[in-house]
Every structure is written in C-alpha cells, then in structure tokens.
Amino acid sequence: MSSKKVKEIFDKKIFRGEIKFDQSMSAYTSLKIGGPVEAMVFPDDVVSLKNVLIEAKKESIPIFVLGAGTNLLVRDSGIDGIAVCLKAFKRIEVIQNINGIAGRFFSKEVLGTSAGFFVEAGVPLGSLINFAKKNGYSGIEALAGIPGTFGGAVYMNAGSFGVEIKDVIISIALMNMDGRIEILEKDRFKFSYRSLNISGDNIIISANIILKKDIPENVSARITEFLKRKKSSQPIDGYSAGCVFKNPEGDFAGRLIEASGCKGMRAGDAEVSSAHANYFVNKGKATGRDFIELMETVKRRVNEQSGVTLEPEIKIIGKDG
Ligand SMILES: Cc1cc2nc3c(=O)[nH]c(=O)nc-3n(C[C@H](O)[C@H](O)[C@H](O)COP(=O)(O)OP(=O)(O)OC[C@H]3O[C@@H](n4cnc5c(N)ncnc54)[C@H](O)[C@@H]3O)c2cc1C
C-alpha cells in the first residue's frame, strides 16, 4: 500500500502528469515479473520531475527511474517509494549549430557531413532509429531491434554488432535529486560495456548526439539487414529482458551457458531459452525468486565447467523477501 507520505506529495498539486498508486512492477517490465511499487509517475515536464524529486528528498522517499523496463528484473517484494518513468519526454530536435555544445568543437569536415540532435530520455530507441532512417542519418543502424528508451540505452550504453550508443553521444543532461540540471560533455563520463558511470542520484533527461548524413535508402537497407540478423537469434517463446549475463572478455556468455548444458533448464516458470542460451524467458508465471534461482544455478554450473564467473547484465532491483 502506498504510504501517506507518498500520497501527500501529489496532494500538493506540484505535479503535472499521470500518477498511478499501488502498481505492480510486472506491468512495467518486459519480463512481466516484479512486486509492488507505491507510486508510478509519468511527469509531463521537467518542472514536474524536479518538484517530485525535491518533495521526495524532503521526506526521504526513495526514487527509482525506469525507461521501458526491458533490462530489469524486479524482486517479488517490490520497491519502496516512487518509480518515475519519463515516457512523456519524447522530443527529437535538430541542433542548428552543434559547435560549442558543452564545450565541444568539431572540424569543418565533420560539420559538413554530420548533424546534431537533441534527444529526450523517453524517446523509444526504435523511434530514434526510424527518424534517422526517414531523414537519412547514419550511426545507429546496428542498434535497430534493441527495445527500450533512449535514456535507458544511454544508462546501459546499449550496443549491438560492435556499435554502442556512446559512439554518437556529444553530451548528456542530468538532473540530480535536488532538481538541478547539468549538461556535461561526453568526456566527463566513463562508458564501458553495458554501463555508464553515473550514480543513482542522477536522472538522464536528454542527450545530444551526432549522426552522419547519408542517403535514406542506404540507411534503411542497413537497418533491415541488422534487424534480420537480430531477429534470427532472439527467442520468441516467452517474456525476456534480453541478455541476462555480460559477455566475458573474449567469449560469449551464451556459448558458455550452452556448453555447461544449461539450455532449457528451468526454475519454476523461468527457463533458459532454447533459442539463445543467454536469454532467460518467463514462460508465464515466473517469479523474481524463480529467475534469480535460475541465474544462480547457471552461474554456478558455468563456473564449475569453465572457471568463468558470469556477471549479470540485467539490473536486479527491489526488496528481498
Ligand atoms: C528482446 C530484447 C533484446 C535486447 N537486445 C539488446 C541488445 O542487443 N543490446 C543491448 O545493449 N541491450 C539489449 N536489450 C536490453 C535492453 O533493451 C537495453 O538495455 C535497453 O537500452 C534498456 O532500456 P530501457 O528503457 O528499457 O531501460 P530500463 O530497463 O527501464 O532500465 C535499465 C536501467 O537504466 C536505468 N535508467 C533508465 N532510464 C534512465 C534515465 N532516464 N536516467 C537514469 N537511469 C535510467 C534504470 O534505472 C535501470 O537501471 C534487449 C532487451 C530485450 C527484451
């Protein structure tokens, strides 16, 4: 049940946007797993986001930010406080002059062949890719087929076929828990494999990216090809959150899992996909506990078999219990 403190924040009429109390996180994750959250809110604008952060901080109410929940495993006891989803932040705008943004300058050659874009965190990654396809901009074709939001992709440094979102980032706008916005140049961040080094006290509200001008038909052809390759290896036999484990240096988590004989292994309704061993699927009624148990069993088996310790790629959040 949502606490009085949480309800009172929204009685103050400082928030524009949708508010839903006592939600099940399973409705907001691609795995369809997860316990309750006191409130799920969708701010309409930056001021409403800022106000909710300030009020929550005053009352020591935890905030969790999510995109489309495609990389999340929420435990069965759910999460305390307020979950914030920026799905209303969905502008993509051309930047007329990309020189000087967050102190970064480009050569004449780059300026002549590229264009800059301001992209808000809630833009579905697929919409950004469609925008690039329609208008003839290259750089993110290989990310086609990755679900989720642009903000989630930046936070996860999402990648595919050797391309990562970091490759096109110029700068990122962050809001901290006091509602203060800072725009920082890419060099101020450390991107690594499926990660960006920002603390949980920061919310990505937008980023500026740079893409190369190209012929729309060429961009479109590359997207079609990448989508074909991606779809052929993805399971369609249940709900998933993409790859469960990170690929260890020089190897593939899926190969190691398969070699340890874990394909098809189950815990309750959670199953190691038979299509791609690094995808675990919810066959219908899997709980967070089932999923974590399966992850632990697979991790142990792989370690016994190959000596490699797999690290989770999915984000596991929420209370144990
Ligand atoms: C079928 C399938 C295929 C996939 N294929 C790929 C793939 O090829 N490559 C790949 O990299 N990933 C892949 N994924 C994983 C996932 O889609 C990506 O990690 C995606 O970028 C997550 O975006 P999201 O909006 O769903 O983030 P969420 O799952 O909602 O959140 C993920 C993390 O990001 C944080 N976060 C989200 N938005 C913000 C924000 N605005 N500010 C701060 N933090 C934020 C959340 O707190 C959480 O810790 C796949 C997933 C599925 C289901």
Residue nearest to atom 34 of ligand 1 (CA): 152
Known catalytic residues are: 194, 243, 313
The pLDDT tens digits for 17-65 are: 999 999 999 999 999 999 999 999 999 999 999 999 999 999 999 999 9
Lowest mean pLDDT among 200-204, 205-209, 217-221: 200-204
CA distance readout (Å), 137 to 21, 23, 99, 150, 237: 41, 39, 18, 16, 34
**Per-residue pLDDT at 321 exceeds 80:** no
CA of residue 165 to ligand 1 center, whole Å: 12
CA of residue 110 to ligand 1 center, whole Å: 30
Best mutation site among 64, 66, 278, 281 for ligand 1, i.e. most ligand atoms within 8 A of its Cβ? 66
Percent of the residues in the chain that have a pLDDT greater than 70, as a whole number: 99
Q: What pLDDT shows up at residue 251? A: 97
On the 0-12 / 13-18 / 19+ scale of CB atoms within 10 A, 187 is exposed
Per CATH, domain 92-233 is 3.30.465.10: yes
In this chain, the answer to whether the domains covering 92-233 and 253-317 adopt an identical fold is no
**Per-residue pLDDT at 298 exceeds 90:** yes
Residue nearest to atom 27 of ligand 1 (CA): 152
Strand 280-282 to strand 270-272: parallel, antiparallel, or no bridges (unpaired)? antiparallel
Measured from the Cα of 164, ligand 1's closest atom is 11
What DSSP element (H or E) covers 292? Answer: helix 288-306
Q: What pLDDT shows up at residue 237? A: 74
Q: What pLDDT shows up at residue 3? A: 82
Residue nearest to atom 14 of ligand 1 (CA): 242
CA of residue 70 to ligand 1 center, whole Å: 5
Instruction: Show Cβ contacts of residue 98 under 8 Å, excluding neighbours closer than 6 positions.
Output: 106, 111, 114, 115, 116, 170, 208, 210
The CATH class given to the 253-317 domain equals alpha beta
The pLDDT tens digits for 90-139 are: 999 999 888 888 778 889 988 889 999 999 999 999 999 999 999 999 99
Higher-pLDDT residue of 201 and 164 is: 164
**Per-residue pLDDT at 184 exceeds 90:** yes
CATH of domain 4-85: 3.30.43.10
Closest CA to 77 of 25, 148, 121, 27: 25
Measured from the Cα of 149, ligand 1's closest atom is 25
Give pTM, 2 decimals: 0.97
User: Where do the DSSP E strands lie in the chain?
Assistant: 17-24, 36-43, 63-66, 72-74, 79-85, 92-95, 114-120, 137-138, 159-160, 163-164, 169-176, 181-185, 191-192, 195-196, 202-213, 266-267, 270-272, 280-282, 315-317
CA of residue 13 to ligand 1 center, whole Å: 31
**Per-residue pLDDT at 66 exceeds 90:** yes
The pLDDT tens digits for 255-297 are: 999 999 999 999 999 999 998 999 999 999 999 999 999 999 9
Measured from the Cα of 154, ligand 1's closest atom is 21
Return the structure tokens found at 36. Answer: 């309750």
- List, chain by chain if needed, residues with CB within 6 Å of any ligand 1 atom: 30, 65-72, 86, 121, 146-149, 151-153, 155-156, 158-160, 194, 203-204, 234, 240-242, 315
Best mutation site among 141, 146, 195, 206 for ligand 1, i.e. most ligand atoms within 8 A of its Cβ? 146
Measured from the Cα of 156, ligand 1's closest atom is 19
**Per-residue pLDDT at 2 exceeds 80:** no
CA of residue 185 to ligand 1 center, whole Å: 22
Residue nearest to atom 50 of ligand 1 (CA): 242
**Per-residue pLDDT at 4 exceeds 90:** no
Domain residue spans of the chain: 4-85, 92-233, 253-317
On the 0-12 / 13-18 / 19+ scale of CB atoms within 10 A, 38 is buried
Q: What pLDDT shows up at residue 90? A: 97
Token pair 């050797």: residue:
162
Q: What pLDDT shows up at residue 97? A: 85
CA of residue 226 to ligand 1 center, whole Å: 19
Q: What pLDDT shows up at residue 96? A: 85
The pLDDT tens digits for 217-248 are: 999 999 999 999 998 878 777 899 999 999 99
Lowest mean pLDDT among 80-84, 162-166, 233-237, 247-251: 233-237
Q: What pLDDT shows up at residue 88? A: 97
Q: What pLDDT shows up at residue 288? A: 97
Measured from the Cα of 230, ligand 1's closest atom is 8
